[in-house]
Structure 1
Amino acid sequence: FFECYYFLTFPLFNHIISLLRSTIFNKFQQKEQQLTTHERRLTLVDLLRKQPGLRVPELAESLGVSEGTIRNDLNALEGEGRLTRFHGGAMLSDQGIFQNSSFSTRFRENAAEKKVIARYASMLVNDGSSILLDASSTAYYLGIDIQEKKRLRVITNGLDVARLLARNSTNTVILIGGVLNLDGSSVTGLFSENIIEELHIQRAFVSCSGFSLERGMTEVHLAEAQLKRKAIESSSELIALVDSSKFGKEDFTHFARPEQITHLFTDSLISPDWASRLQRARLSVTICEAEVAPIK
């Protein structure tokens, strides 16, 4: 009887134990997966805090997961309001991205328009180019899009974009010396202007706080305008990065006349009236759409 009972119950007992083990293991595995996802996203945020502008492939390699997983994580974190996505990567949304709150605020203003302008303008930067970037938030977005270019010679008075592009060991980044501005995002002054006079720059990528056909590109701060004026004099080409919110505004001082502009990039929110006025003024203009197309 006992022998018969043993043979009847032992397989059933083993089956029950197997089911229990499977259930416990699955629950543990699910919990572990949740913790892993949570920890991975915390690590991802930490990486972006330390190295703003990291790309999806770099994040995937650092965390040992697929690029698809990273994109899912970035989408989830963006949904939580913790970061801002850009083409190929992301940046944190809090003020910890930059060293000052003023630049962080400008970085968020008209962000979508600035991103698409930067993406188009990046097609004018090739390996080995000698370029100047001003301290604008649009130029920083351009820096994000060109950070994988090689052997760039970059002249800038913007601390944030200098740090970004200096991470590429093939680049030479010249941070112009001078007086550190109050918001801590740029350097201006006589020293900066003297350095620029000694340099030859292929293309100067410059933004502005206002644009009109009467005064051209204008700037709120006199020192910034003077520096940009010197940069334009030392550059073969002036590439104007002007989002649609700047048209029709005139600020304190001008630094570039319309006829000095080699090419102007703006976004598709520009009014039909302003688009027509730029055309009548015979300016070389690209109106940047969401999908990048070659410059004609």
Structure 2
Amino acid sequence: MPFQQPNSLKRRLQIADLVRRLGEIKVETLSKEFGVSTVTIRNDLSYLEKQGFLTRSFGKARHNFALSVPAIITEQNNIELSAKKFKITDEISLASTAAGMVRDGDTIFLGAGSIIQKMIPFLTEKDNISILINDVSVLSFIQVYLDCAVHLTGGTLAKGCHALLGPLAEASIQMQTINKCFLEIDSIQDNDIVACNHPAMARLYSTAVSFSQNSIGIISTLQSSPEGFPAISLENFDQLIIQQDVSKKEENISKLSGFAINSNTGNTIFNKISLT
């Protein structure tokens, strides 16, 4: 029986989920199921392919199985993937895991970054959430995908990026009751200190973690770098999400005795251990 006519966003998310479950499906079948023309379906598939959710081939849509590939690729794996394609699928997987931690009614702060942006489509089924952002480029993206309360921090637009920073942005975070904050972590200095490429961003990270009930760091790679401005220790996060083979990189995290592995299903979630 065909699905009820959804809006284009909801239809696209349903198509992505259907292709994921079936492995592949014909354009004509999707057209009948959703009650729209094959031209509309092809436009949907083109969009989803660009987002990395699926691939198109000879009138069919196929699940992008690269989404299930472990993050660490060695010579022994004998797997050939372009770095760009792998990065996209890696980020989508991280975004999906992060979005799954949001609960109905949550007020969340979303920091800047490409993984954060990819979280947005996975939040469509969440009810009564409120989002605080400081990345102006994410605002239009949220307006396309979500129907929820959105608040933009004040602040000064940082040179070379789309983020609002400074005392006003930090004050905006302090005035909110934030259930969860999600921050991308790109660089880690010695002693497990998260580094940012801008001093005001470093202060914002520290404020967001300090004034959130639950702080989640999203790590796409575990690479150490002496560069950048120190923001906050990894120990201050409540949870860390890593798209890595833990057996290959656990030495970088295991020294954080305050964390324990919660799950390992492609993405590994480290939860802070309660001392009480």
Instruction: Please classify the TM superposition score into its range, dividing by the shorter chain length.
Output: 0.5 to 0.7
Is 1:74–2:41 an aligned residue pair? no
The residue number in structure 2 matching 1:223 is 200
> What do you get for the CA RMSD once the two structures are aligned?
3.9
Contact kept, 8 Å, 1:180 with 1:188, in 2: the verdict is yes
Matching residue's letter, 1:255? A
Select which of 14, 26, 36 maps to 1:64.
Answer: 36
Contact kept, 8 Å, 1:212 with 1:250, in 2: the verdict is yes
> Shift of the alpha carbon at 1:294?
9.7
The residue number in structure 2 matching 1:160 is 137
Matching residue's letter, 2:36? G
> Shift of the alpha carbon at 1:139?
0.9
Compared with structure 1, are the counterparts of its residues 161 and 55 closer, same or farther at alpha carbon in structure 2 (3 Å cutoff)?
Answer: farther
Find the aligned partners of 1:190 and 1:201 in 2 and give their Cα distance.
Answer: 18
Contact kept, 8 Å, 1:176 with 1:192, in 2: the verdict is yes
Contact kept, 8 Å, 2:155 with 2:168, in 1: the verdict is yes
Contact kept, 8 Å, 1:116 with 1:289, in 2: the verdict is no
Compared with structure 1, are the counterparts of its residues 279 and 190 closer, same or farther at alpha carbon in structure 2 (3 Å cutoff)?
Answer: same
Select which of 14, 29, 51 maps to 1:84.
Answer: 51
Matching residue's letter, 2:225? K
The residue number in structure 1 matching 2:68 is none
Compared with structure 1, are the counterparts of its residues 65 and 161 closer, same or farther at alpha carbon in structure 2 (3 Å cutoff)?
Answer: same
Is 1:197–2:174 an aligned residue pair? yes
Is 1:252–2:224 an aligned residue pair? no
Compared with structure 1, are the counterparts of its residues 279 and 215 closer, same or farther at alpha carbon in structure 2 (3 Å cutoff)?
Answer: closer
> Shift of the alpha carbon at 1:67?
11
Is 1:151–2:103 an aligned residue pair? no
TM-score w.r.t. length of structure 1: 0.62
Select which of 240, 247, 250 maps to 1:264.
Answer: 240
Which moved further from structure 2: 169-178 or 130-139?
169-178
Report the secondary structure of 2:180's partner residue. strand
Find the aligned partners of 1:67 and 1:269 in 2 and give their Cα distance.
Answer: 41
Report the secondary structure of 1:132's partner residue. strand
> Shift of the alpha carbon at 1:193?
1.2
> Shift of the alpha carbon at 1:54?
8.1
Is 1:275–2:247 an aligned residue pair? no
Query: Runs of 5+ in structure 2 lacking a partner?
Result: 1-6, 17-29, 56-83, 272-276
Select which of 182, 187, 201 maps to 1:210.
Answer: 187
Alignment deviations for residues 203-252 of structure 1 (CA, whole Å, 9 cap, x no partner): 110012202460421111111111111111110111000112x4222432
Contact kept, 8 Å, 2:185 with 2:194, in 1: the verdict is yes
Matching residue's letter, 2:92? K
Report the secondary structure of 1:279's partner residue. coil
Alignment deviations for residues 126-152 of structure 1 (CA, whole Å, 9 cap, x no partner): 121111110111111122221332211
> Shift of the alpha carbon at 1:55?
2.9
Compared with structure 1, are the counterparts of its residues 295 and 194 closer, same or farther at alpha carbon in structure 2 (3 Å cutoff)?
Answer: closer
TM-score w.r.t. length of structure 2: 0.66
Query: Runs of 5+ in structure 1 lacking a partner?
Result: 1-46, 89-106
Q: How many residues align?
A: 221
Is 1:118–2:95 an aligned residue pair? yes
Alignment deviations for residues 103-131 of structure 1 (CA, whole Å, 9 cap, x no partner): xxxx9882222211111111110121111
| Larger-gyration structure (1/2) | 1
Report the secondary structure of 2:105's partner residue. coil
